[in-house]
Amino acid sequence: MTADGEKIEERQSPEKPCEIPPDWKANIIAFACHYCAFAAADLAGVMRLSYLPNSKVIRLPCTGKLDHIYVLRAFERGIDGVFVAG
């Protein structure tokens, strides 16, 4: 595939646009490394920073522990977004 072709494909979302139900709240899973991102999240707490409450953090011993299947299972159960920090 050419670089151009890839770019064009990236831009289009495979999802169909839809109406957002009123009771919907973004449900996000954050996979965080115990030693870096999780500690950063701790620090954010200690610093009493406020941020949007939609992200649920899952602590991994290391982001290397992340497996394809963890992310897929999250989506399978209807999660709206996943981010990994480490």
Partner 1 sequence: MKRLKGLLRTIGINPERLQFYNLSAAMGPRWAEICNEFTEKIIALGPSPIWLARQKKKESLKHGE
Partner 2 sequence: MIVGEQKPLEEIWEMVKVHKQLTVFGCNTCVAVCHQGGNKEAGILASLLRMKATQEEVDIEIVDSGIERQCEHEFFESVRDLMNRSEAVLSLACGIGVQFVATKYQTLPVYPALNTTFLGDVIAVGHFTEKCQACGDCVLGLTGGVCPVSRCCKRLMNGPCGGSSNGKCEISKEIDCAWQLIVDRLEALGRLDDYEKIPPLKDWSKDRAGGPRSFKLEDM
**Beta-strand (E) ranges in the chain?**
28-33, 55-60, 81-85
29 binds, among partner 1, partner 2, none (CB under 5 to 8 A by kind): none
Binding mask 33-72 for partner 1 (x = CB under 8 A): --xxx-xxxxxxxxx-xxxx-xx------------x--xx
Residue 31, exposed/middle/buried by CB under 10 A (0-12, 13-18, 19+)? buried
Q: Letter for the amino acid at 43?
A: L
Residue 86 near which of partner 1, partner 2, none (CB within 5-8 Å, type-dependent): partner 1
Binding residues for partner 1, total number by CB under 8 A = 48
Query: Which one of partner 2, partner 1, none is in contact with 51 (Cβ closer than 5 to 8 A by kind)?
Result: partner 1
Q: Shortest Cβ distance from residue 65 to partner 2 (Å)? A: 14
Which residues, 6+ apart, have CB-to-CB distance to 74 below 8 Å? 29, 82
